[in-house]
């Protein structure tokens, strides 16, 4: 299944295995549930969320967030002051930008419960994962 939306504050949602929820526009949300699902959103302050094994939550835009739950899932957040979180065994990918909006780096980490905690929001600061406020 596919749920798609466009426009500020929009929501695209879908459920079922291999589903896709996508949205674009400021403060939008793309959400999907089911194994191998993708929740994607673009636009400042957007959220991409997915649940289910081998799923992907992705968001781009300043102050965007991505989150996943389910085994072997991936949360990717790209944009200034972006953040991501995941369940144990998932991976988070974050980017860092300087004060002028210039891309500095991207970094990935596994949610292991120790160095990267389960269900805790993270962002990149000076190339390191830090808990987001």
The neighbouring-strand residues paired with 86 are: 68
Please check the confidence at residue 11 and state whether its pLDDT lies above 90.
Answer: yes
Contact criterion met (CB below 8 Å) for 43 and 62: no
pTM score above 0.75:
yes
32: Cβ contacts below 8 Å, ≥ 6 apart: 3, 13, 14, 15, 19, 20, 21, 38, 39, 49, 50, 51, 52, 55
17: Cβ contacts below 8 Å, ≥ 6 apart: 34, 35, 36, 37, 52
Per-residue confidence (pLDDT) for residue 133, from 0 to 100: 82
Per-residue confidence (pLDDT) for residue 6, from 0 to 100: 94
Output the furthest CA–CA distance in the chain (Å, rounded).
Answer: 41
Please check the confidence at residue 27 and state whether its pLDDT lies above 90.
Answer: yes
């Amino acid at each position: 299944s596919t749920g798609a939306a466009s426009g500020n504050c929009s929501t695209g949602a879908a459920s079922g295995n291999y589903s896709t929820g996508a949205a674009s526009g400021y403060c939008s949300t793309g959400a999907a549930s089911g194994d191998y699902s993708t929740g994607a959103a673009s636009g400042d302050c957007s959220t991409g969320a997915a649940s289910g094994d081998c799923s992907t939550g992705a968001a781009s835009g300043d102050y965007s967030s991505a989150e996943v739950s389910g085994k072997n899932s991936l949360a990717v957040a790209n944009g200034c002051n972006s953040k991501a979180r995941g369940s144990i065994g998932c991976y988070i990918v974050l980017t860092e930008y300087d004060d002028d909006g210039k891309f500095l780096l991207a970094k990935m980490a596994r949610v292991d419960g120790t160095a990267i905690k389960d269900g805790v929001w993270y962002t990149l600061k000076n190339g390191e994962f830090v808990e987001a406020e």
